[in-house]
Structure 1
Amino acid sequence: MGMQRGMSNPFAEYMWMENEEEYNRQVEEELLEQEFLERCFQEMLDEEDQDWFIPARDLPPGLGQIQQQFNGLSVSDSNSNTEEIVRKSSLNPEAKEFIPGVKY
C-alpha cells in the first residue's frame, strides 16, 4: 500500500512545501513552546534549590570550618565521665522538677 501511495504521487514527500509558510509557522510555534517549557522547568528547579538549605552555598565561608569541627565531636557513654560530672555538679538533687508556666 505504501508503495502504491508513493507511485500515485511521486512528490508526496515534498507536499509540505506547498504550504511552506504554514509549515514554518507551525515549526516555529513548536520550538517556542519547547523553549517556554524548558524555561519554566528551569525556573521551577531554581525555586526548588532556593527552598533547600545547602551549607556550602548558604553559610558564610568561616562557618564551614566550625561545621567540620562539630562533625568531629562525639558524645561519650562512659559511666566514669558521668559520675565525675555528677560529683562536680553544683545542682541540687532535691530540687523540684521544673515545669514551664507553673509557679512554686
Structure 2
Amino acid sequence: MSLARKPVRIVPKGWGREVWIANNDLYCGKILEIKKGKRCSLHFHQLKTESFYLRSGKLLIRVKQSSASETIEEFELTAGDCMDVPRGLVHQMEAIEDA
C-alpha cells in the first residue's frame, strides 16, 4: 500500500499560486509561490494557525495584532526562516524576491 499521492489542488493567484497538499476543517498544508513585487491581501484566520517555511527568496511580512489596530509591524524573512501565525493575527506577505 502506498501513502503517496498528488497535491489536492493547484490554485492560481494574482500574486503566484497555491499548491494545496491538504485543506480541511482541522488542517491546512499549502506551498505558496509568490512572484517578486506581488503580495497577498492583508488578512487573518479565525480558526486556523499557520506555519511558514521559506524555501527560497525573500519576503516582507506585515502584521497587526487585530483588524482594529492602527499599527502595522514589518519584518523580513529570508530562505530557511520559519514563521508561526496564530489565529486572529492580521498578516500579509510581499515578495522582495521570487519566493
* Length-normalised TM-score, structure 2: 0.18
- The answer to which structure has the higher strand fraction is 2
Ranked by relative contact order (alpha carbons within 8 Å, sequence separation 6 or more), the top structure is 2
**Which structure: greater helix fraction?**
1
Larger radius of gyration: 1
